[in-house]
Chain A
């Protein structure tokens, strides 16, 4: 019978990404409820040393697939290796990160294992011995509770939502042969162009300062950049601002952009069109600064300021600077 709660850990350039610890902690919690073990699949080249770090967050067994063919990440190779070890061990539950790589791998694996997958979950629990995964649909306009009838029951977890909690276990590291058939790998990463701004991705940022039509033009964003710098956050944008060419597409928050859930989302000059609200409503705290007291964004805000953002934002930057000094 299928048992065990497994994760696929995510590493890049030889370091585990934060989502891996969020996955490990969540898997630990589910495994304790089921009275079973936590397994982690770790794939890459020269990465065996990372296994102990997963133990720190509650993993009992780390299955290490170490091969030059697994670095850099290519969907087919990782899916092949993960599917092999999963089929050999038959876990009941399998969690991945809803990061770019995690989603790419999770969906391919769901196809390979012919099982059900709930994408981008914000809550997972055990109900009647089965995984119940809660996820936003229609970009958060409603939520679905997903139950999977096949094993492993798969879910990908939204980054930044599940806490990473230390829970030290003596993780046992188990090497396995990923058995990559090179003839079947049709894709090749030719180049990795790193973003040199030093900023994390919007979906991984704890603080997002976002601007909309009210910014009046691309130059208006300078004051948002300053506030974001003070708060060690990133700048986001509404669809209106991106479509106007004021900000790059990767900054767009909303139903046709990124869905984000930072600790703090500061919406400046954003009225709150439903398709924008969909992308940021799961933020822990929301501040809205807008001249229009009737703007729908205020209905979602924890703190609202009805005023000219060009006057409020620089003052907010100063006030934060003082508090953080």
Chain B
């Protein structure tokens, strides 16, 4: 099988996000960068498919120079080779431009399944997998928690509100990974050593021949609105405090 897993480098979930004073974005100085957690599920599933069915796994990432660390992490987990789309012109890429860059990098490569995370936990757009599928003219299966490969198709489970869908799709297709799909492995020490020698092809915008003008622009970034200070319900008796909370919810907040 030829499997592709797209990865993005994002701030760690524990990272504090500080907005720049002029609202033009976030301060990146103190941030610890990691592989997007949903992409890890995609990489893991790609590796499992390869281990079961043979073939190879290519990692593709769009991001600045530091994103190479994330590609190496995926190679250390067991992927075979990487493509790094790296160009300052992509610094303000929106989902469409990112998907177009991925599509241009992937086009022409043989592939059965392309994995993406269901969303990246930085901009939370959750669009890249679908737009990539559209640009490649192949089907998409989003928010997948279980996948079964059957030669020319896959069967997957997709949770929706109040139900689960069992969907079958002809290959090739894009699958976006949701938590629950698997438990991603850690890179082993030998894996990390080997990863250093695996090939990573670095491409810029000119090589891909894509337009880089974002269609959706973040005009301004702001800190979240502050919540008004709350009340701490005092007293020694848990029952009395509970009664007071219930009263406030009923009479003041009017939510029960």
Listed in ascending order, the chain A residues whose CB lies under 8 Å from chain B are 72, 75-76, 79, 99-101, 103-104, 106-108, 110-112, 114-120, 132, 135-150, 186-195, 199-201, 203-204, 206-207, 231, 249-250, 252, 255-257, 259, 263-264, 273-275, 281, 284-287, 298, 300-308, 311-313, 315-316, 318-320, 322-324
Question: B53 at interface (Cβ–Cβ under 8 A)?
Answer: no
Given the complex of chains A and B, what is the CA–CA distance between A187 and B168 in angstroms?
Answer: 6
Residues B219 and A145 in contact, CB atoms below 8 Å apart: yes
Residues B133 and A100 in contact, CB atoms below 8 Å apart: no
20 CB < 8 A contacts A-B:
A103-B142, A107-B130, A119-B126, A135-B124, A138-B123, A141-B16, A142-B26, A145-B222, A149-B217, A186-B170, A192-B166, A193-B164, A203-B161, A207-B255, A249-B179, A252-B179, A256-B179, A302-B228, A305-B241, A322-B246
- Cβ contacts B236-252/A at 8 Å (1 or 0 each): 00110111011111100
Selected from B13, B130, B135, B243, the residue in CB contact (under 8 A) with A104 is B130
Interface contacts (Cβ under 8 Å), in number, total: 277
Residues A111 and B222 in contact, CB atoms below 8 Å apart: no
Residues A305 and B242 in contact, CB atoms below 8 Å apart: yes
Question: B28 at interface (Cβ–Cβ under 8 A)?
Answer: no
Residues B230 and A147 in contact, CB atoms below 8 Å apart: no
Q: Give A239 Cβ to nearest chain B Cβ, in Å.
A: 9
Residue of B nearest to A118 (CB): B216
Question: B79 at interface (Cβ–Cβ under 8 A)?
Answer: no
Q: Give B28 Cβ to nearest chain A Cβ, in Å.
A: 12
Selected from B14, B96, B123, B130, the residue in CB contact (under 8 A) with A108 is B130
Selected from B131, B143, B169, B239, the residue in CB contact (under 8 A) with A187 is B169
Contacts of A324 in B (CB 8 A): 256
Tally of contact residues, B, Cβ under 8 A: 85
Contacts of A188 in B (CB 8 A): 167-169
Q: Give A221 Cβ to nearest chain B Cβ, in Å.
A: 18
Contacts of B26 in A (CB 8 A): 138, 142
Evaluate whether A194 and B125 lie within 8 angstroms (CB atoms) in the complex, with A142-B223, A285-B249 already known: no
Contacts of B158 in A (CB 8 A): 100
Selected from B139, B143, B215, B242, the residue in CB contact (under 8 A) with A116 is B215
B interface majority secondary structure: mixed
Selected from A116, A138, A311, the residue in CB contact (under 8 A) with B214 is A116
Contacts of A304 in B (CB 8 A): 230-233
Question: B173 at interface (Cβ–Cβ under 8 A)?
Answer: yes
- Cβ contacts B119-146/A at 8 Å (1 or 0 each): 0011111110111111100111111010
Q: Give A294 Cβ to nearest chain B Cβ, in Å.
A: 12
Given the complex of chains A and B, what is the CA–CA distance between A149 and B96 in angstroms?
Answer: 12
Residues B131 and A195 in contact, CB atoms below 8 Å apart: no
Selected from A142, A191, A298, A307, the residue in CB contact (under 8 A) with B222 is A142
Contacts of B66 in A (CB 8 A): none
Residues B143 and A110 in contact, CB atoms below 8 Å apart: no
Question: B218 at interface (Cβ–Cβ under 8 A)?
Answer: yes
Given the complex of chains A and B, what is the CA–CA distance between A150 and B135 in angstroms?
Answer: 17
Residues A302 and B142 in contact, CB atoms below 8 Å apart: no
Residues A142 and B167 in contact, CB atoms below 8 Å apart: no
Given the complex of chains A and B, what is the CA–CA distance between A118 and B94 in angstroms?
Answer: 10
Given the complex of chains A and B, what is the CA–CA distance between A141 and B170 in angstroms?
Answer: 39
Question: B35 at interface (Cβ–Cβ under 8 A)?
Answer: no
Residues A189 and B166 in contact, CB atoms below 8 Å apart: yes
Residues A142 and B17 in contact, CB atoms below 8 Å apart: yes
Question: B224 at interface (Cβ–Cβ under 8 A)?
Answer: yes
Residues A316 and B245 in contact, CB atoms below 8 Å apart: yes
Residues A195 and B221 in contact, CB atoms below 8 Å apart: no
Q: Give A12 Cβ to nearest chain B Cβ, in Å.
A: 9
Given the complex of chains A and B, what is the CA–CA distance between A323 and B139 in angstroms?
Answer: 52
